[in-house]
Amino acid sequence: MIEIFNTGSSIQVKNSDNVTLNCNKETFEVSIGDYKIDFPWEYEKSWVLLEVCEFNEKLFYSFLVEGKVLVVLFYDDFEMKEEIMSFFWDVDILLVVGTKNASKIVENIEARVVIPFWEGKEMFLHALWQHKEEIENFKLKWEMWIENTEFINLK
């Protein structure tokens, strides 16, 4: 099971082994437990696989957690080129900065679950015609039967 929740300054993802991925919304830093990930590479830590790519001096993160692909997108100001689009292939869960500009990017990514964060998440959801009530956390069981994109509004 994967559990995702908002702690205020970060979005945290826990797997069934209680390994915590921390995505800091203020510093754009990602860590697995105490291990800070701050340069492009492929990592494996505590049974979590991670690929970090750099495009135009911006880091993009893709995790494989419990067999699901989770992508963290901190940026809304990049051009959707083919090399970047290949990074967003087959995304199960997309954590994305909640801005109106990011909504245009998300339309080009076929994620099964989209979770916006930051102050502009309401504007992001509104731009995509999504009016979701806030929830404390999101729990994803093993199977995903979602045919259309599901939007989640974390508190």
User: 100-137, pLDDT tens digit by residue?
Assistant: 889 888 888 889 999 999 888 888 888 889 988 999 99
pLDDT at 60 over 90: yes
CA 144, CA 113: separation in Å to the nearest integer?
9
The pLDDT score that the predictor gives to residue 145 is 60
Residue located via tokens 């692909």 = 69
SS3 sequence, 52-71? Answer: EEEECCEEEEEEEECCEEEE
145: left (phi over 0), alpha (psi -120 to 50) or beta: alpha
Per-chain mean pLDDT for the chain: 89
pLDDT at 63 over 80: yes
Three-class SS state of 87: helix
DSSP letter string over 91-128?
-SEEEEE--HHHHHHHTTS--SEEEEESTTHHHHHHHT
Domain 2-154: CATH superfamily, name plus number: Ribonuclease Z/Hydroxyacylglutathione hydrolase-like (3.60.15.10)
Residue located via tokens 């209680």 = 18
The model carries a pTM of 0.90
